[in-house]
Chain A
């Protein structure tokens, strides 16, 4: 079955430092891929998505992710962390290309240290 792996449930990063969250997918055929962010008491919000066009995808709030087929990865990065980036981040895949049946990773809780 399709799965998405996110390692490290909690990620601490210093303010101003690089944010790097790793995501790997398991399917042999590249799926659509997504990163979502969830702030406390709010619903998941789409950060960015890969739908087989450009492999480097830019999203909101200064985040970007690069799709690498050879590594089956879709890692999320932001050059400089802000305090407002403290949230939970989920990687998800849609192997059905528009069917919208998403498979989620376990999430990364990002803590930003002043």
Chain B
């Protein structure tokens, strides 16, 4: 299957700072990318969907000014958590799907800890 990478895999930041997470499709063009959040022992919650070159569509309850998503190319999407707080600590997972395939290919996730 197609490969999606995320960087970093693990990050710690101080409260009030911003942190950027990268999601890359390594061997396919991801026309659509998705960002999920997963709390311990909970399911993945879809945060937003982004199409290359367009603004992201956020799910209800997700603060778009807090979680900035950029999908500037067909192989890269970034999620920036702005002014992070401890309650933003979570596991963030991205996925991508191509133009010809409905299937989503998932990255391995990024664990964010805000102190």
Chain A residues with a Cβ under 8 A of chain B: 4, 9, 36, 38, 41-46, 90, 92, 98, 100-107
For residue B42, CB closer than 8 A to chain A, the reply is yes
A43 and B109 within 8 A (CB): yes
Chain B residues with a Cβ under 8 A of chain A: 1, 4, 9, 32, 34, 36, 41-46, 49, 59, 93, 95, 97, 102-109
A sample of 9 more A-B contacts (CB under 8 A), given A38-B106, A98-B102, is: A41-B9, A43-B95, A45-B106, A46-B103, A92-B44, A100-B49, A102-B46, A106-B42, A106-B43
Contacts of B1 in A (CB 8 A): 45-46
A43 and B106 within 8 A (CB): yes
Residue of B nearest to A105 (CB): B43
What are 18 pairs between A and B in contact, CB < 8 Å?
A4-B43, A9-B41, A38-B106, A41-B9, A42-B108, A43-B105, A44-B95, A46-B103, A90-B43, A100-B32, A100-B34, A100-B97, A101-B59, A102-B44, A103-B43, A103-B46, A104-B44, A106-B41
- Per the bound structure, the CA–CA distance linking A104 and B109 in Å amounts to 16
| Chain B min CB distance to A67 (Å) | 17
- Per the bound structure, the CA–CA distance linking A85 and B58 in Å amounts to 35
Q: Quick one: which of B44, B45, B97, B109 has the most chain A CB within 10 A?
A: B44
- Per the bound structure, the CA–CA distance linking A56 and B4 in Å amounts to 29
Contacts of A4 in B (CB 8 A): 43
